[in-house]
Structure 1
Amino acid sequence: MADNIAKLELPGNDSIDLPIKKGTEGFDVIDISTLGKKGYFTFDPGFLATASCESAITYIDGEQGILLHRGYPIEQLATESTYLDLCYLLLYGELPTKDAFDEFETTVKQHTMVHDQIVYFFRGFRRDAHPMAMLCGVTGALSAFYQDSLDVNNPSHRKIAAFRLVSKMPTIAAMCYKFSVGQPFIYPRNDLSYAGNFLSMMFATPCEEYKVNPVVEKAMDRIFVLHADHEQNASTSTVRLAGSSGANPFACIAAGIASLWGPAHGGANEACLQMLEEIGSVDRIPEYIEKAKDKNDPFRLMGFGHRVYKNFDPRAKVMRETCHEVLQELKVVDPLLDVAMELERIALEDEYFISKKLYPNVDFYSGIIMKAIGIPTSMFTVLFALSRTVGWISHWKEMLDQPGHKISRPRQLYTGDSARDFVSVDKR
């Protein structure tokens, strides 16, 4: 409901009244949906000043370092909740009661297996296929197996699809890893937690019993929590855009995975590890610090600062604590982890980094944790997609639940040729 009116003056002494809408948090929004009737559209490359939808799921204040899921601060959710607890919150809007959570967890565990013929999809991939390529392809192919949840206009189908995606994504992600290293697939274990089951499917083999390290299990669960949703980013917007056409949920999530695969979006923690490999050793850090400070040098420190968070990343505070817990528990000897810890120390103490607000972000710490656990960099974005699936499906579900939603149709500023006559090839 509009609280005020903005008046836009147009050429020819004409004007139009535009409603100003207020949300529960954040900036006011000018509703320009009627502007087209006057023959005008707005120009906003990247949609950086455009609210593409109305949502009650996640709120971000980049200036203040605030991230809320359904009103709950991410710091509280990451330290006091679990990933499945957060999944319920994102999907249904409220934290579950004990009985509701037990039922939700049981249902998720009952859907962890995938159809056995999906194995043949993996056998069709090249041995050296990138895990994200496999994840994208197999997720889209789920619509060929679970046809009883494809009617997006049926609330029951939407609910079943949500359960299946949250449940099966760890299984598929682990299969992508196992295929890439030539090991047999491991079935899910429903006696384990969501994070523990994923670690088992990643690292267990038929040869010997696998025991989940509780410190690593806690760290993995936190990684899932901290990456579960992040408002209207590129991949979430892609899922909404695809879903607005009525596409089935598996196709929509596959579209989100494809968008996340871009190095400017989901590849940040992988880029961070590649940077550490380029630096190589602690004694070379001063050289690269100077390169980072040199405006004329193309080198950039990856994993520091954030496009949205201007002062600090609230997720990074929790991830930093978890990172140090994992390194202490595993006692991993790795020169790159030494480089990472020294870079962290410098970033938190050096005046240049402090003044530029180049703090270590969540990608910096999550990348270090995953490397310490033994997860290869090619799997980093896969884990991101696994975590973000519940956010994507929550936004998809929210959009379809809203009355009167329309297919997305962005406009453009056309700068091509005006109308001209065709000339046959023999006269050109």
Structure 2
Amino acid sequence: MEALSNKLSDYFDVESVDGRPLLKPQRRHVDLRILDEGLVQTAICRSRIGRIDASIPRLEYRGYDVAELADHADFLEVAFLLLTGHSEPTAILDFKRQVDSYMERLCDLPVTLSSMVRKSTATDFLALSILTALSQREAELKDDSRPLNVAAFLLAVIGISVAVYARGGSEALDTHDQLQLTRTNFIDRLLHAALSRQPELFAVSLMNKFLILHAEHGLNCSTAVVRAVASTGADPFAAVVAGICAFKGPLHGGASEEVGKMYDGIFRESLDVARFIDDCLARRCRLMGFGHRIYKKPDPRAAYMKRLLIDERENFSLILPYVGICEAFDQEVRTRDYFTDRGLCPNPDLFNGILLRRIGFPSEMNTMLLCFSRSIGWLAHYFDSLDSKAPILRPQELYGVART
């Protein structure tokens, strides 16, 4: 207890970051414990990959606003940007060719994966697919330290996995043939294989925007897990699979799948959204699709997708009942004190399933497709962690101390 009389400056150097105090221990081993459950106030790394400004709110990738990237960029261009920190046309073209090359070289993977489809959920299937593909090329890739090569392989594997799962595995050979079609657009090739038809331009554009919007979001739970795995020296594929396992939880990326199923139930049973919300509040159930740890104003990704539904209304006519459900939720929550008093704004999960359903994917694939997008952010953090030479992550615990 004697140490409590010491000044804060006896333990920490105090800096200022974005107008907020930053406490940095003067020595690695300080006889001091800080209880921060959930690491809500604790920074475990320095990074220049993604930046969230909740006050505006704004989300940036390497300094570029995510909305501008979704409007004007290609997903593989954004992947290159996140991984390298720069944008160079010739190098980007080489990266795209790498992805295409792996799509062609992994010609046997659809058949290998087809038997696993019915035995697992979509997100579990994705994790298993990565490990299966890696086991076939372990000598070639396990010790590869080139971020773009690792990313090209991973994106090819995930693309093939999405196509196989979407087709149910029963048409694996046909999936393979369509993945091999000569196309300049990675997403066009992927959707053709997944949906068994030539995708319309709007669906390709929508998928591209979806993947860009979710590629990176700072040090959320799954990204922290990826950096923790990286700190052990494990390979990047193990880190990404760990990220998938963390992401699938219903309080994280799994919430998107829960919202999709909620929409399915409301549509199937012709439920009234206002009464559905009343029932959730009366039963003290969590209403998925609202609220965020950081944003107390509308999430910029959700705001972007909401504008998309308005601006491209005619292109969503095929699933207009689902759009109506989404808009009813948005309207109800914006006018209820229970939500406005708590800063519970719509989050991306309210809109993700609408975009994915319009493209042609069922609700049970929502989280899998979010992992597809976020895999690039995870890889960027994995290699950033290696570059930082940070020590293995080892938080402390307070054993036997009663909660107050």
TM-score bin (small chain): 0.7 to 0.9
Deviations 1:81-139 (A, max 9, x none): 22112111101112x23333322222222222463454465355362421211111121
The answer to whether the Cα contact below 8 Å between 2:210 and 2:355 also exists between their aligned partners in 1 is no
Which residue number in structure 1 is paired with residue 151 of structure 2? 162
- Equivalent in 213, 223, 228 of residue 200 of structure 2: 213
- Look up the SS of the partner of 2:246 in the other structure: helix
Which residue number in structure 1 is paired with residue 162 of structure 2? 173
Which amino acid in structure 2 is aligned with residue 170 of structure 1? Answer: G
Residues 120 and 184 of structure 1: CA distance in aligned 2, closer, same or farther (over 3 Å): closer
Which residue number in structure 2 is paired with residue 3 of structure 1? none
The answer to whether the Cα contact below 8 Å between 1:113 and 1:171 also exists between their aligned partners in 2 is no
Deviations 1:140-176 (A, max 9, x none): 2333233223226xx44x4421321133321222223
CA drift at 1:17 = 3.6
**Whole-Å Cα distance in 1 between the matches of residues 164 and 319 of structure 2?**
28
Which residue number in structure 1 is paired with residue 298 of structure 2? 312
CA drift at 1:271 = 1.4
Which amino acid in structure 1 is aligned with residue 244 of structure 2? Answer: I
The answer to whether the Cα contact below 8 Å between 1:62 and 1:310 also exists between their aligned partners in 2 is yes
- Equivalent in 57, 71, 90 of residue 99 of structure 1: 90
Which amino acid in structure 2 is aligned with residue 274 of structure 1? Answer: K
The answer to whether the Cα contact below 8 Å between 1:215 and 1:326 also exists between their aligned partners in 2 is no
Which amino acid in structure 1 is aligned with residue 126 of structure 2? Answer: L
Structure 1 unpaired stretches of 5+: 1-8, 205-209, 418-428
Q: What aligned pairs does 1:44-83 form with structure 2 within 5 A after superposition?
A: 44-83=36-75
Which amino acid in structure 1 is aligned with residue 303 of structure 2? Answer: K
Which residue number in structure 2 is paired with residue 414 of structure 1? 399
CA drift at 1:52 = 1.0
CA drift at 1:318 = 1.6
**Whole-Å Cα distance in 2 between the matches of residues 14 and 63 of structure 1?**
32
Residues 119 and 78 of structure 1: CA distance in aligned 2, closer, same or farther (over 3 Å): closer
Residues 32 and 140 of structure 1: CA distance in aligned 2, closer, same or farther (over 3 Å): farther
**Whole-Å Cα distance in 2 between the matches of residues 177 and 275 of structure 1?**
20
Which residue number in structure 2 is paired with residue 274 of structure 1? 261
**Whole-Å Cα distance in 1 between the matches of residues 321 and 368 of structure 2?**
25
Which residue number in structure 2 is paired with residue 252 of structure 1? 239
Which residue number in structure 2 is paired with residue 321 of structure 1? 307
**Whole-Å Cα distance in 2 between the matches of residues 88 and 98 of structure 1?**
10
**Whole-Å Cα distance in 2 between the matches of residues 346 and 416 of structure 1?**
43
CA drift at 1:43 = 1.3
The answer to whether the Cα contact below 8 Å between 1:275 and 1:301 also exists between their aligned partners in 2 is no
- Equivalent in 118, 135, 138 of residue 127 of structure 1: 118
Residues 26 and 224 of structure 1: CA distance in aligned 2, closer, same or farther (over 3 Å): farther
Which residue number in structure 1 is paired with residue 276 of structure 2? 288
CA drift at 1:190 = 4.4
Residues 358 and 323 of structure 1: CA distance in aligned 2, closer, same or farther (over 3 Å): same
**Whole-Å Cα distance in 1 between the matches of residues 383 and 366 of structure 2?**
26
CA drift at 1:384 = 0.4
Count of residue pairs the alignment pairs up: 394
Is 1:19 matched with 2:13? yes
- Equivalent in 208, 211, 228 of residue 241 of structure 1: 228
- Equivalent in 2, 14, 27 of residue 34 of structure 1: 27
Deviations 1:246-291 (A, max 9, x none): 1111111111111111111111221112222444466622312434
Residues 197 and 327 of structure 1: CA distance in aligned 2, closer, same or farther (over 3 Å): farther
Which residue number in structure 1 is paired with residue 106 of structure 2? 115
- Look up the SS of the partner of 1:216 in the other structure: helix
TM-score scaled by length of structure 1: 0.83
**Whole-Å Cα distance in 2 between the matches of residues 373 and 120 of structure 1?**
25
Is 1:396 matched with 2:388? no
Which residue number in structure 2 is paired with residue 184 of structure 1? 172
Which amino acid in structure 2 is aligned with residue 29 of structure 1? Answer: L
**Whole-Å Cα distance in 2 between the matches of residues 416 and 192 of structure 1?**
59
**Whole-Å Cα distance in 2 between the matches of residues 411 and 241 of structure 1?**
14
**Whole-Å Cα distance in 2 between the matches of residues 372 and 215 of structure 1?**
9
Residues 55 and 173 of structure 1: CA distance in aligned 2, closer, same or farther (over 3 Å): same
TM-score scaled by length of structure 2: 0.87
Higher helix share: 2
- Equivalent in 185, 190, 201 of residue 193 of structure 1: 185
- Look up the SS of the partner of 1:36 in the other structure: coil
- Equivalent in 192, 202, 218 of residue 231 of structure 1: 218
Which amino acid in structure 2 is aligned with residue 250 of structure 1? Answer: F
Tell me which structure has the larger Cα radius of gyration: 1
The answer to whether the Cα contact below 8 Å between 1:228 and 1:389 also exists between their aligned partners in 2 is yes
Residues 290 and 12 of structure 1: CA distance in aligned 2, closer, same or farther (over 3 Å): closer
Task: Give the % identical residues.
Answer: 26
**Whole-Å Cα distance in 2 between the matches of residues 12 and 135 of structure 1?**
53
- Look up the SS of the partner of 1:414 in the other structure: coil
CA drift at 1:353 = 4.9
RMSD of aligned residue pairs (Cα, Å): 2.8
Which residue number in structure 2 is paired with residue 301 of structure 1? 287
Structure 2 unpaired stretches of 5+: none
Which range moved further: 102-111 or 228-237? Answer: 102-111
**Whole-Å Cα distance in 2 between the matches of residues 257 and 360 of structure 1?**
23
Residues 178 and 334 of structure 1: CA distance in aligned 2, closer, same or farther (over 3 Å): same
**Whole-Å Cα distance in 1 between the matches of residues 184 and 312 of structure 2?**
20
